């Protein structure tokens, strides 16, 4: 029996019975928290037995569904175990034309059909350009947020996806960009356009500052130090009142300058929308160019094997530090945009949860894949927004969907594909040229 694969349930009704067991288990599990409600002041207990039935029924159905989906994913169980000694004559080790995944086939199709490609891009361009005029200010504002997270995701992807450095404190750079613009605007009246590149540069310097002490750390030690770094930044912002105006935050930050033209709120939102769209396009171009550049390939090599990478003459220190700095830059930009968008910031916007959400965008979307990250950001940011109908249940659904996506698609919605050259063996036709 291969590891991790349970014996298939063969007898009739076995699935039902097992799901029934799961339902009973969950009824037991949720009993104290779902059923009993105590009010500590009046010292009485409310028993909510009705909920137990819901839990039981829900667990039963979900368990059947879960098992069905997992079985579908694994494909049909082979009648006889494959003989490990029998060499599969068809597979010669070279990847042939027919064995591509759907995603790869789409990419190839997209690459070959020039007409189709142009059509798609023009269509996309018009949809994006027309969006704020078709939809309400509220919708536009949500999309702006989602696009900001696309940039954050792409930035973090440099550190986590390409260089393989697990950064749980990415929010620190985001916060420093936001506070830089807010404080500069508050004290010296610095405008958005001047602050934007400076915020990016500041974040890059912060990235270097964080990068130096953690160069020697690897894996999860790095994760906790970056997490600590993020928390330290937030706590300092919260407690150092003279510097950051404390937990009450900074209000009345200027929106992006508009060359003296008077804008109302809607115009401002539309204006910001276009700024963000242009910046996202810029990010996508830079990040995709970076990935295929010398430094980008060095990051990937570093992620795959540090020792081998050094043996090939790649400077580990320089490579890691550039990853931190270039990753952080985008967070600085987005922080600056956040301050300009909301015109109010406080330390509570920069908790660890924020880092976790950005990391989830990267991993859920598919590490290393730009399209995947865009999709991940749209899903993770728009999902809670449009789930507002369920208001109080939305975070519950959000957490559950993170688990479910990971369980059923561990490589993310769209897994990152590496550039590769393929070698196609032509079938020998029998005649010599």
> Contact positions toward another protein, by CB under 8 A?
3-4, 25-26, 28-30, 32-34, 36-38, 40, 43-45, 51, 70, 160, 166, 213-214, 216-218, 220-221, 223-225, 227-229, 231-232, 235-236, 238-239, 306-308, 352, 356, 359-360, 363-364, 367, 392-393, 395-396, 398-403, 406-407, 410-411
- If the CB atoms of residues 224 and 286 are measured against another protein, the closer one turns out to be 224
Q: How far is CA 262 from CA 157, 256, 266, 291, 342, in A?
A: 38, 12, 11, 41, 18
- If the CB atoms of residues 9 and 406 are measured against another protein, the closer one turns out to be 406
CB of 333 to another protein, least distance (A): 25
CB of 39 to another protein, least distance (A): 9
**How far is C-alpha 402 from the geometric centre of its chain's CA atoms?**
11
- If the CB atoms of residues 35 and 198 are measured against another protein, the closer one turns out to be 35
- If the CB atoms of residues 280 and 309 are measured against another protein, the closer one turns out to be 309
Q: Which two tokens stand for residue 353?
A: 């949860």
- If the CB atoms of residues 43 and 114 are measured against another protein, the closer one turns out to be 43
**How far is C-alpha 384 from the geometric centre of its chain's CA atoms?**
14
Which helix (DSSP H) or strand (DSSP E) does residue 40 occupy? none
- If the CB atoms of residues 224 and 378 are measured against another protein, the closer one turns out to be 224
* Cα four-point dihedral sign 400, 354, 156, 159: negative
CB of 29 to another protein, least distance (A): 6
- If the CB atoms of residues 153 and 256 are measured against another protein, the closer one turns out to be 153
CB of 90 to another protein, least distance (A): 25
State the angle between helix axes of 352-365 and 394-408 in degrees (0 to 180), rounded to the nearest 10. Answer: 40
- If the CB atoms of residues 128 and 225 are measured against another protein, the closer one turns out to be 225
User: If DSSP codes are grouped into helix, strand and coil, which group holds residue 368?
Assistant: coil
* Cα four-point dihedral sign 56, 62, 63, 64: positive
CB of 81 to another protein, least distance (A): 18
* Cα four-point dihedral sign 82, 88, 94, 97: negative
CB of 37 to another protein, least distance (A): 7
CB of 64 to another protein, least distance (A): 15
Name the one residue in this structure whose structure tokens are 């990267």. Answer: 362
CB of 252 to another protein, least distance (A): 26
Q: Please say whether the beta carbons of 46 and 32 come within 8 A.
A: no
Q: Among 419, 407, 430, 432, which Cα is nearest to 111's?
A: 419
CB of 86 to another protein, least distance (A): 23
Q: Which two tokens stand for residue 46?
A: 């409310």
Q: Please say whether the beta carbons of 230 and 168 come within 8 A.
A: yes
Enter the DSSP assignment of 46: E
Count CB neighbours of 103 within 10 A.
15
CB of 382 to another protein, least distance (A): 17
- If the CB atoms of residues 166 and 284 are measured against another protein, the closer one turns out to be 166
Name the one residue in this structure whose structure tokens are 């320089």. Answer: 318
- If the CB atoms of residues 43 and 79 are measured against another protein, the closer one turns out to be 43
CB of 409 to another protein, least distance (A): 9
> Per DSSP, what are the bridge partners of residue 37?
46
- If the CB atoms of residues 139 and 401 are measured against another protein, the closer one turns out to be 401
Q: Please say whether the beta carbons of 179 and 345 come within 8 A.
A: yes
State the angle between helix axes of 171-188 and 192-211 in degrees (0 to 180), rounded to the nearest 10. Answer: 140
Listed in sequence order, the residues at least 6 apart from 412 whose beta carbon sits closer than 8 Å to its beta carbon are 363, 364, 365, 366, 367, 369, 372, 376, 405
């Amino acid at each position: 029996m291969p590891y991790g694969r349970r014996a298939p349930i063969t007898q009739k009704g076995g699935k039902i019975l097992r799901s029934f067991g799961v339902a009973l288990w969950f009824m037991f599990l949720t009993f104290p928290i779902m059923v009993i409600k105590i009010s500590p002041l009046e010292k009485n207990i409310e028993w909510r037995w009705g909920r137990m039935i819901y839990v039981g029924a829900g667990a039963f159905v979900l368990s059947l569904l879960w098992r069905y989906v997992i079985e579908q994913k694994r494909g049909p169980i082979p009648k006889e175990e494959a003989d490990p000694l029998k060499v599969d004559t068809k597979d010669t080790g070279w990847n042939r034309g027919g064995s591509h995944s759907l995603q790869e086939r789409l990419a190839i199709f997209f690459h070959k059909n020039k007409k189709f490609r142009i059509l798609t891009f023009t269509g996309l361009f018009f949809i994006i350009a027309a969006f704020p005029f078709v939809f309400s200010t509220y919708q536009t504002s949500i999309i702006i947020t989602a696009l900001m997270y696309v940039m954050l995701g792409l930035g973090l992807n440099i550190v986590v996806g390409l260089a393989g450095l697990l950064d749980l404190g990415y929010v620190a750079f985001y916060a420093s960009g936001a506070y830089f613009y807010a404080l500069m605007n508050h004290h010296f009246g610095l405008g958005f356009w001047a602050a934007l590149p400076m915020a990016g540069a500041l974040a890059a310097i912060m990235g270097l500052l964080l990068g130096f002490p953690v160069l020697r750390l690897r894996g999860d030690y790095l994760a906790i130090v970056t997490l600590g770094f993020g928390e330290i930044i937030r706590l300092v912002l919260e407690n150092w009142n003279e510097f950051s105006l404390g937990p009450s935050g900074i209000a009345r930050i200027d929106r992006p300058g508009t060359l003296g033209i008077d804008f109302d709120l809607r115009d401002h939102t539309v204006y910001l929308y276009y700024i963000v769209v242009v910046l996202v396009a810029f990010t996508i171009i830079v990040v995709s160019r970076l990935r295929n550049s010398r430094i980008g390939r060095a990051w990937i090599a570093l992620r795959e094997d540090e020792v081998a990478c050094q043996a090939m003459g790649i400077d580990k220190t320089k490579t890691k530090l550039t990853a931190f700095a270039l990753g952080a830059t985008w967070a600085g930009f987005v922080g600056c945009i956040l301050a300009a968008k909301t015109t109010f910031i406080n330390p509570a916007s920069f908790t660890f949860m924020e880092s976790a959400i950005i990391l989830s965008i990267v991993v859920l979307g598919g590490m290393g894949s730009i399209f995947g990250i865009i999709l991940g950001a749209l899903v993770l940011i728009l999902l809670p927004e449009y789930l507002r109908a369920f208001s109080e249940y939305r975070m519950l659904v959000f957490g559950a969907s993170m688990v479910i996506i990971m369980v059923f698609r561990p490589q993310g919605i769209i897994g990152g594909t590496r550039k590769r050259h393929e070698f196609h063996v032509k079938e020998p036709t029998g005649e010599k040229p």
